[in-house]
């Protein structure tokens, strides 16, 4: 039941207009593109800086680090900019993996950024296929097309 609720809620997104209104313009604005759910234990994110959406002056060299909330893993610092940079993540198995993004200048001083965190739900693809794929009577193998079948709509 909990996995079903998580699947239902995970793809819900906030409109771009609402995101724009909520932005803290004095913080370094980032775009973080990632999968919301995955069956993989390693995932890639795309991260870039939105300097045109940020007020103030920021250093030429900016570094970002993704740190998993359990503290057991960090991406290390990667230089980021206005062009997308790929950062590899290591996920904990069978749970929601939340990450904090830390941003630094070249001297190692921490900069405020937004968004500051994101989550990826790991393990969704591990549900048995029989829970989702049910045979339909009348659509057996080697039938000539077009075929007609009766679907069993009872879902466990």
Across the chain, mean pLDDT equals 81
Which has the higher per-residue pLDDT, 100 or 150? Answer: 100
Token duo for residue 143: 């039938």
Tell me the pTM.
0.67
Instruction: Give the pair of three-digit tokens for residue 31.
Output: 């775009």
Percent of the chain with pLDDT over 90: 56
Q: Which of 6-10, 13-17, 25-29, 144-148 has the lowest mean pLDDT?
A: 6-10
Task: Please tell me the CATH code under which domain 2-127 is placed.
Answer: 2.60.40.150
The reported pLDDT for the residue numbered 17 is 65
Residue 143's Cβ-side half-sphere holds a number of Cα atoms within 13 Å equal to 11
pLDDT digits (tens, 9 = 90+) for 54-94: 888 889 999 999 999 999 999 999 999 999 999 999 999 99
pLDDT in tens, 22-32: 556 789 999 99
Tell me the two tokens of residue 144: 């000539």
Question: Residue ranges of the domains in the chain?
Answer: 2-127
Q: Which residue has the higher pLDDT, 68 or 1?
A: 68
Q: Do the Cβ atoms of 80 and 47 come closer than 8 Å? A: yes
pLDDT score of 55:
87
Regarding beta strands 85-90 and 42-49, do their DSSP bridges make them parallel or antiparallel, or are they unpaired?
antiparallel
> Which is more confidently placed, 34 or 2?
34
Instruction: Find the range with the poorest average confidence among 45-49, 61-65, 70-74, 145-149.
Output: 145-149
Kindly report whether the peptide bond that precedes residue 115 is cis, defined as omega within 30 degrees of 0.
Answer: yes
């Amino acid at each position: 039941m909990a996995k079903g609720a998580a699947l239902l809620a995970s793809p819900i997104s906030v409109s771009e207009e609402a995101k724009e209104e909520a932005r803290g313009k004095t913080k370094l604005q980032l775009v973080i593109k990632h999968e919301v759910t995955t069956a993989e234990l390693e995932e890639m994110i795309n991260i870039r800086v939105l300097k045109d959406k940020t007020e103030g002056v920021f250093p030429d060299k900016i570094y970002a680090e993704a740190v998993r909330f359990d503290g057991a893993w960090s991406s290390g610092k990667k230089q980021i900019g206005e062009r997308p940079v790929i950062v590899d993540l290591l996920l904990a198995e069978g749970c929601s993996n939340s990450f904090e993004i830390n941003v630094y200048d070249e001297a190692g001083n921490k900069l405020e950024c937004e968004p500051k965190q994101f989550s990826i739900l790991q393990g969704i693809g591990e549900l048995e296929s029989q829970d989702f794929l049910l045979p339909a009577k009348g659509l057996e193998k080697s039938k000539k097309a077009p075929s007609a079948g009766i679907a069993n709509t009872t879902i466990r």
